[in-house]
Amino acid sequence: MIRYERDEALELRVRGIAQKLQLRHDMTRIACIRSTGSKARRTLARCHALPRVMQLALGVKAHYAIEVIAEQFDRLPPDEQAKTVIHELMHIPERMKGGFRQHDYVCRKNVEKMYKEFLK
Protein backbone atom coordinates (compact mmCIF):
# COMPACT_ATOMS: atom_id res chain seq x y z
CA MET A 1 0.00 0.00 0.00
CA ILE A 2 1.30 3.44 -0.90
CA ARG A 3 1.46 5.95 1.94
CA TYR A 4 1.60 9.69 1.36
CA GLU A 5 2.65 12.46 3.70
CA ARG A 6 3.32 16.14 3.29
CA ASP A 7 7.03 16.96 3.39
CA GLU A 8 7.55 20.51 4.65
CA ALA A 9 11.35 20.18 4.62
CA LEU A 10 11.23 19.26 0.94
CA GLU A 11 8.86 22.18 0.30
CA LEU A 12 11.45 24.56 1.75
CA ARG A 13 14.12 22.99 -0.44
CA VAL A 14 11.91 23.22 -3.54
CA ARG A 15 11.10 26.88 -2.77
CA GLY A 16 14.81 27.62 -2.38
CA ILE A 17 15.62 26.01 -5.72
CA ALA A 18 12.75 27.84 -7.45
CA GLN A 19 13.82 31.15 -5.92
CA LYS A 20 17.46 30.71 -6.90
CA LEU A 21 16.40 29.86 -10.46
CA GLN A 22 14.06 32.89 -10.44
CA LEU A 23 11.07 30.76 -11.42
CA ARG A 24 7.85 32.74 -11.31
CA HIS A 25 5.69 29.94 -9.94
CA ASP A 26 3.23 30.73 -7.15
CA MET A 27 4.85 28.49 -4.58
CA THR A 28 1.79 28.69 -2.32
CA ARG A 29 0.08 26.43 -4.86
CA ILE A 30 2.80 23.77 -4.93
CA ALA A 31 2.88 21.10 -2.23
CA CYS A 32 5.53 18.43 -1.76
CA ILE A 33 4.56 14.89 -0.91
CA ARG A 34 6.76 11.98 0.13
CA SER A 35 5.37 8.57 -0.77
CA THR A 36 6.47 5.17 0.45
CA GLY A 37 5.42 1.72 -0.66
CA SER A 38 5.26 2.42 -4.40
CA LYS A 39 5.95 -0.52 -6.68
CA ALA A 40 7.50 1.86 -9.23
CA ARG A 41 11.21 1.09 -9.28
CA ARG A 42 12.45 3.44 -11.99
CA THR A 43 10.43 6.48 -10.92
CA LEU A 44 12.12 9.05 -8.68
CA ALA A 45 9.37 11.65 -8.54
CA ARG A 46 6.12 12.71 -10.16
CA CYS A 47 4.24 15.93 -10.67
CA HIS A 48 0.45 16.04 -10.23
CA ALA A 49 -2.04 18.78 -11.02
CA LEU A 50 -5.54 19.46 -9.77
CA PRO A 51 -7.72 18.68 -12.80
CA ARG A 52 -9.54 21.58 -14.44
CA VAL A 53 -12.94 20.11 -13.60
CA MET A 54 -12.00 20.05 -9.90
CA GLN A 55 -10.67 23.60 -10.09
CA LEU A 56 -14.05 24.72 -11.42
CA ALA A 57 -16.02 22.59 -8.96
CA LEU A 58 -14.07 23.91 -5.97
CA GLY A 59 -13.67 27.45 -7.26
CA VAL A 60 -9.89 27.40 -6.89
CA LYS A 61 -6.90 27.99 -9.12
CA ALA A 62 -4.68 25.13 -10.23
CA HIS A 63 -2.55 23.51 -7.55
CA TYR A 64 0.33 21.11 -8.08
CA ALA A 65 1.96 18.40 -6.01
CA ILE A 66 5.51 17.23 -6.43
CA GLU A 67 5.67 13.67 -5.15
CA VAL A 68 9.01 12.05 -4.38
CA ILE A 69 9.19 8.27 -4.16
CA ALA A 70 11.15 7.99 -0.92
CA GLU A 71 12.73 4.59 -1.61
CA GLN A 72 14.37 5.89 -4.81
CA PHE A 73 14.76 9.62 -4.15
CA ASP A 74 16.43 9.26 -0.74
CA ARG A 75 19.18 7.07 -2.20
CA LEU A 76 20.25 9.79 -4.64
CA PRO A 77 23.19 12.07 -3.90
CA PRO A 78 22.20 15.70 -3.19
CA ASP A 79 23.08 16.91 -6.71
CA GLU A 80 20.81 14.30 -8.32
CA GLN A 81 18.03 15.13 -5.86
CA ALA A 82 18.32 18.79 -6.90
CA LYS A 83 18.18 17.82 -10.59
CA THR A 84 15.09 15.71 -9.89
CA VAL A 85 13.38 18.64 -8.18
CA ILE A 86 14.34 20.94 -11.07
CA HIS A 87 12.92 18.39 -13.51
CA GLU A 88 9.58 18.32 -11.67
CA LEU A 89 9.44 22.12 -11.35
CA MET A 90 10.05 22.41 -15.08
CA HIS A 91 6.89 20.37 -15.74
CA ILE A 92 4.84 23.18 -14.13
CA PRO A 93 4.17 26.02 -16.59
CA GLU A 94 4.74 29.56 -15.32
CA ARG A 95 1.07 30.46 -15.81
CA MET A 96 0.02 27.51 -13.60
CA LYS A 97 -3.35 26.88 -15.22
CA GLY A 98 -3.37 23.12 -14.53
CA GLY A 99 -1.44 21.79 -17.50
CA PHE A 100 2.06 20.40 -17.80
CA ARG A 101 5.14 21.03 -19.86
CA GLN A 102 6.05 17.87 -21.73
CA HIS A 103 9.34 16.04 -22.10
CA ASP A 104 10.23 17.86 -25.30
CA TYR A 105 10.96 20.80 -22.98
CA VAL A 106 11.66 18.93 -19.76
CA CYS A 107 14.63 16.95 -21.04
CA ARG A 108 18.08 16.11 -19.69
CA LYS A 109 19.75 18.90 -21.68
CA ASN A 110 17.43 21.60 -20.27
CA VAL A 111 17.56 20.19 -16.74
CA GLU A 112 21.38 20.23 -16.86
CA LYS A 113 21.30 23.81 -18.14
CA MET A 114 19.04 24.88 -15.26
CA TYR A 115 21.16 22.93 -12.78
CA LYS A 116 24.25 24.84 -13.91
CA GLU A 117 22.32 28.09 -13.35
CA PHE A 118 21.32 26.82 -9.91
CA LEU A 119 24.99 26.22 -9.02
CA LYS A 120 26.05 29.79 -9.91
Q: What is the pLDDT along the chain (120 residues), one digit of tens a residue?
A: 999 999 999 999 999 999 999 999 999 999 999 999 998 888 999 999 999 899 999 999 999 999 999 999 999 999 999 999 999 999 999 889 888 999 999 999 999 999 999 998
CA 87 – CA 73 distance, rounded (Å): 13
CA 53 – CA 105 distance, rounded (Å): 26
Q: Where are the domains of the chain?
A: 3-119
Q: Are 48 and 14 in contact (CB under 8 A)?
A: no
Domain 3-119 falls in which CATH fold?
Zincin-like (3.30.2010)
